[in-house]
Amino acid sequence: MDKLSPQQRHANMAAIHSKGTKPEMIVRRGLWKRGFRYRLNAPDLPGHPDLVLRKYRTCIFVNGCFWHGHNVALPQIDNGQWIIDNSECCKIPKTNRDFWVRKIRRNQARDIEQQHRLARLGWHCITVWECSLKPSIREQTLTSLAYTLNRIWLEDHAVQVSYPEAEEGVGTMLAAEEGEEYETEKTE
Ligand SMILES: [Zn+2]
């Protein structure tokens, strides 16, 4: 069944994890096609987000479900046993369990920490999970991502419309100035 040694598995998963891999490319192409422009792997930002859309003040992380522990609860060890609640897209290997749990817990904690740091710097953070990019739901995911970005932009640029009590003095003065200017132009 599981013929890989932990070392082989590690090497395999590390390769899948490397930058420029398929899930990230899907998001890049999907956003590009929809007219969004971005920077890649911003080295100056916490966590080096996969895509940075400055105009939208948004960082996008494209996360592998296994490495980042998508929907997996990994509580503290109990009586020498991990109590693991696996999810559909992230199943902790039965061999070398202790190593994997610690590793993925560490990644989860780091993800949260980095997103908090980005938020404090005024960035929105969006995580796109690998499982949401499988062919059957990919377009839907990308469309909703585009929708979210547009909504962020609109909220950031919303004009506070208010109607204060009319200040007659100011209004009258403005009207008078405009009138004067108009008449000056006419006499020339
Ligand atoms: Zn997932």
What separation in Å is there between the alpha carbon of 48 and the centre of ligand 1? 21
- 21 burial type by CB count under 10 A (0-12 exposed, 13-18 middle, 19+ buried): middle
What separation in Å is there between the alpha carbon of 137 and the centre of ligand 1? 12
- CATH number at 18-149: 3.40.960.10
Nearest CA-CA partner of 65 in 112, 7, 131, 10: 131
What separation in Å is there between the alpha carbon of 133 and the centre of ligand 1? 9
SS3 at position 95 = coil
What separation in Å is there between the alpha carbon of 83 and the centre of ligand 1? 20
What separation in Å is there between the alpha carbon of 188 and the centre of ligand 1? 73
| Measured distance CA(35)–CA(51) in Å, rounded | 14
What separation in Å is there between the alpha carbon of 62 and the centre of ligand 1? 11
Tell me the pLDDT tens digit for each residue of 2-52. Answer: 555 655 565 555 554 544 559 999 999 999 999 999 999 788 899 999 999
**Are the CB atoms for 61 and 47 separated by under 8 Å?**
yes
Give me the pLDDT at residue 12, please. Answer: 55
Tell me the pLDDT tens digit for each residue of 105-149. Answer: 999 999 999 999 999 999 999 999 999 999 999 999 999 999 999
What separation in Å is there between the alpha carbon of 91 and the centre of ligand 1? 10
Q: Where are the domains of the chain?
A: 18-149
| Measured distance CA(130)–CA(73) in Å, rounded | 18
Per-residue pLDDT at 186 exceeds 60 = no
The residue with greater pLDDT, 120 or 94, is: 120
Helices (H), the chain: 6-17, 22-33, 97-120, 138-156, 168-187
What separation in Å is there between the alpha carbon of 36 and the centre of ligand 1? 24
What separation in Å is there between the alpha carbon of 8 and the centre of ligand 1? 23
Nearest CA-CA partner of 63 in 136, 158, 8, 141: 141
What separation in Å is there between the alpha carbon of 97 and the centre of ligand 1? 19
